[in-house]
Amino acid sequence: MFGRIARRYDLANLILCGGIDSLWRKKLVAAVRKCSPNAVLDLATGSGDVAFALSRGLDPATTVVGMDFCQPMLDEAEAKKKAAGAGRYANVTFRPGDGLALPLPDQSYDAITISFGLRNLADRARGLREMHRVLRPGGHLFVLEFSQPYAWFRPFYFFYLQRILPHIAGMVTGDRDAYVYLNDTIGQFPDRAALADEIRAAGFTQVSARPMTLGIVALHEASA
């Protein structure tokens, strides 16, 4: 499904969220910067926007690996890196990998980010355990993900998701079904407290959650 929409994915995101996703990424990068990592893994990197934002916002010596199991998405990320020019994102590399069985050694990264990808894992608990495995002791996990909005805003939000978003996305990408899937995963995703419990169950400590944009998105942080 992600392979089908890869070429129009960035345009659809821009239209559907009005560009506010850039603000969410800035807050994510600011949180990662506080832990001064030397090596960061960006899981479900998609077309690479978070990996590029990390490259711009962190120390240039920090290595950033963007990993995704959808090759067409990685192709888009590589094309954007090439278009930026030689040396612009020299500290960013992209490679394929499955979040449920990461092709990485134990304790190999200082920080892991996953943005709007956790809900797409077939087994969240297994994916979170894999993230814990590859983080060094004291490393940090950052999960930027859709969440459940504040109660008063929920009817308006889900009306947009269910009645408006699929039609717009269908016109932009030619694949309305992909965005019906998006609605379903958002509606079924746990709220901030429940997701925090899932993160703790995977072995993480010091779990916190920060709601953004009327609660439709949250940034979860945790320590390995």
| Distance set, CA 158 to CA 49, 183, 206 (Å) | 26, 8, 31
Structure-block tokens of residue 177? 């079904």
Are 46 and 75 in contact, with CB atoms under 8 Å apart? no
DSSP 116: S
pLDDT tens for the chain, 224 residues: list them. Answer: 665 555 655 655 665 666 788 899 999 999 999 999 999 999 999 999 999 999 999 999 999 999 999 898 899 999 999 999 978 999 999 999 999 999 999 999 999 999 999 998 999 999 999 999 999 999 999 999 989 899 999 999 888 877 787 777 666 666 656 555 676 777 778 999 999 999 999 999 999 999 999 999 999 999 99
Report how many helices (DSSP H) and strands (DSSP E) the chain contains, helices first: 10, 7
d(CA 33, CA 19): 22
What pLDDT, on a 0 to 100 scale, did the predictor assign at position 107?
97
* Every domain of the chain and the residues it spans: 2-6+18-149+190-223
Of the candidates 91, 33, 81, the one whose C-alpha atom is nearest the C-alpha of residue 57 is 33
Say whether domain 2-6+18-149+190-223 belongs to CATH 3.40.50.150.
yes
